[in-house]
Amino acid sequence: MKILSVNAGSSSLKFTLIELPDEKVIISGTFEKIGLPDSFYTIKYNGNKDKKEVLLKDHTDAVKYLLDELINYKVINSYEDIDGVGHRLVHGGDKYTESVIIDDDVLSTVEKLVPLAPLHNPANLVGVRSFKEVLPNTPMVAVFDTAFHQTMDKEEYLYAVPYEWYERYGVRRYGFHGTSHRFICEKMHDMLGEHKKIINCHIGNGASICAIKNGKSIATSMGFTPIAGVIMGTRCGDIDVGLIPYVMSSTGKKFDEVMTDLNKKSGILGLTGVSSDMRDVEEGYNNRDPRCITAINMYAKRIVDYIVMYNALLEGADYITFTAGVGENSDVMRDLIIKRLNFMGVKLDPEKNSTRGLAALGVKIDEEANDCRGVERLITAEDSSIPCYIIPTNEELMIAKDTYDLINK
């Protein structure tokens, strides 16, 4: 079966066409700047990457163009060859604990949850409705970022605020990146043959840490929104909320402006003034730029804070895993994190951690991109108290598998 895995943003549409149950990626790509005069797409197929400018007035235009391109690339013969479409939906509230077939009730519920995810759910819904318009008879599945974390105990997800805020307005920790955390959980189960106690570090431009026990999330660093937790590319992570009214009164900025600053101008970007991209900041770190040094050390320290806390919660983790862009590709960041865990007996193997260590696995590295994706490996010493692994995430595959399973249920 050919399953499209889709992630729709406010002006973008990412897709991967996967053959299941073989789990073979056929073609993938991204449409960007949808609705703007300089919209374009990139498509990866057979090892080649094509880029083309094309005028796309809305997401429905993008969907039609996408499907026509799949025909042009001869990966499908007609629209009917698409057996299902899996959609990433950021927020499912506490209603959805697993992926579901999309019907009118699901759309209505997700619409009602827009106030909980005003930056993400509207865009996700636009993607769903655009595909339903073009493929009205094709099954659609919603895969929620929040679903995996609905197994947390109440003492983990409640905030110490007036209880009626939770009862009336749904104020609680929801957690995000659930699809990635679940993928790592299942991947480790496949590798080990059983569920273990895992601390998974999903570290990319967005980042979250998750404590996993018996195949279930028991705690996670993101909260009511994806701004909470560790320091991220442009998001501040955990802060004292009292600084918000202070900054408003000091600068004259409105609440929405301050929240934009905390979401889009903070984190690594805010600390360094250089970039939100860890590769750029690592370059500054290596050149002894004081702000980059401070930022990278803060970034590592906040992650370690959560690892130590979750190690106590789990009463001793069996494994620590690193995934996503920074987690998979930055040997510098993994080194800084694991060295701070030496007091727990966690010991890094520098050769295994380094991209140079991949040579022993027969892996050739693209030095320019430093792209190590797809390579699972142990990076700690034999006598490390907790083994640490790099496990590349694959949210697109997780979405496609859920779609396949529900269609064939």
Which positions are catalytic? 145
Nearest to 13 by CA among 26, 28, 30: 30
Q: What is the CA radius of gyration of the chain?
A: 21
Torsion (CA) 64, 144, 191, 218 in degrees, nearest 10: 170
CB 145 within 8 A of CB 179: yes
| Single-letter amino acid, residue 203 | I
CA distance linking residue 294 with residue 274, whole number of Å: 13
Rounded CA separation 188/321 (Å): 9
CA distances from 7 to 66, 85, 113, 276, 289 (A): 13, 10, 18, 22, 36
Distances (CA, A) of 183 to 89, 162, 223: 16, 35, 20
Contact predicate 363/371, CB 8 Å: no
